[in-house]
Copies of this chain bind each other. A is one copy, B any other.
Amino acid sequence: MIMREVSIIGVGSTVFGKYKETAAEELGRQAIEAALKDANVRHKDIGMAACGNVYGGFCLAQSTLMEVGLAGIEMINVENACVSGSSAFGLAHRAIAVGDYDIALAFGLEKMTSLAPAQLAPADTDLDGRMGLLFPAVFALIMRRYLEKYGVTMEQVAKVSVKNRHNGCLNPYGQYKDEITVQDVLESRMISDPVTMLQCCPNTDGAAAAVLCAADLADKYCDKPVSVAASVICSGDYNHRQGDITFSDLTHKTARIAYEKAGLGPEEIDVCELHDAFASNELMHYEELGFCGVGEGGQLIDSGATALGGKIPVNVSGGLLSKGHPLGASGVAQLAEIVWQLRGEAGERQVEGARVGLAHMLGGAVTGLEAGSCGVHILKI
């Protein structure tokens, strides 16, 4: 099989935050127009578009792209929970790889602040959720087991929030701009013991977009095209059947496939954006992505390796914890951050000499223990 190589030639994002009075389509428009401008493409160059969104409903891609003046092309609305944006990117990537189009647009958007409580309630069929096993409770159970099993401390978990908030203060696209301390995290309101409020990602509105192009045409538009070395979307099995809720087989498997496709290993990743919806997630994902051994996540954050200036800086954008987590947008926003990092345009949060970046999202059923979805993308310049 001959597949075309694909590059990213432009990215854009809104400032993430709370925009209760702004339509989802308007947030999308801002991100898309920024990406089209960055890519230096005309509207008529775009062959297809894929949109990641969870709660917006009915042809949101079409109504958003109308706002931009884009019409008459293939448009796909994708929902894959937190992995919706990553999945939209994956579909746009494949549409170019197969040769159907030369240029495609991937974007994600979410209006979280205007959702009615009923829209966020567990489905009738989700018995665990109806009994109270919502995301904070799921991750509280997982975290508790993780602390116990490996002797990881509350302080090590809190350091993730502190690090990501610090990075977020350096990111003009992020929601929070104030530093916090370990003590702040531990003393913040208890949500689901031992998960406190500052260990949880906030409620956020936002949109992000990326323009993808056949690699052999990318130089025509862009001085610094970023190569997509791997684009992998995978779903999980019943993780809790496998006896260890502290290790996501799904992340591990998806990353393994991505590393194989890219011909790269974890030791070659210079910068990583990963799914830190809750602070303890980040430590476990270090392990699943191969940045350290199993059970060593606490030591890795203590070592400073994942901070800016460390060996493998993680969530330099601020991550979901500080930048915010508009579900459908987050996966695309991660890729925008990696592109800025690889192009050397990340300002105060720049990882020096970054050549290879990895973006990881994980999402799924309300219980969190079931199937769900994972996306891992590896980019290089």
Contact = CB atoms under 8 A, between A and B. Distances in A.
A238 B66 contact: yes
A366 B58 CA distance: 8
Interface in A51-81: 54, 57-59, 61-63, 65-66, 71-81
A237 B78 contact: no
Contact of A98 (B71, B75, B98, B373): B98
A18 interface: no
A76 B75 contact: no
B365 A74 contact: no
Contact of A73 (B1, B61, B125, B234): B234
Task: State the oligomeric state as a number of copies.
Answer: 2
A23 interface: yes
Contact of A81 (B23, B58, B80, B371): B58
A58 B135 CA distance: 14
A233 interface: yes
B25 A371 contact: no
A266 interface: no
A109 B364 CA distance: 19
A373 to B, nearest CB: 6
Interface stretch (A89-97, A221-229, A298-306): A89-97
A84 to B, nearest CB: 8
Given A58-B79, A72-B250, A75-B235, 9 more contacts: A1-B2, A3-B99, A59-B364, A61-B235, A66-B238, A74-B233, A74-B235, A91-B91, A97-B98
Which residue, A4, A57, A65, A364, has most C-beta atoms of chain B within 10 A? A57
Given A125-B25, A233-B76, A236-B72, A62 B372 contact: yes
A253 B74 CA distance: 12
B371 A74 contact: no
Contacts of A23: 125
A370 interface: yes
A217 interface: no
B235 A73 contact: yes
A91 B80 CA distance: 14
Given A2-B1, A94-B95, A94-B100, A59 B79 contact: yes
Contacts of A372: 59, 62
B80 A365 contact: no
Interface pairs A-B: 3 shortest CB-CB: A1-B99, A98-B98, A62-B371
Nearest to A26: B125
Which residue, A76, A78, A371, has most C-beta atoms of chain B within 10 A? A76
Contacts of A63: 125, 365, 370-371
A190 interface: no
Nearest to A231: B100
Contacts of A3: 98-99
Which residue, A59, A66, A71, A373, has most C-beta atoms of chain B within 10 A? A59
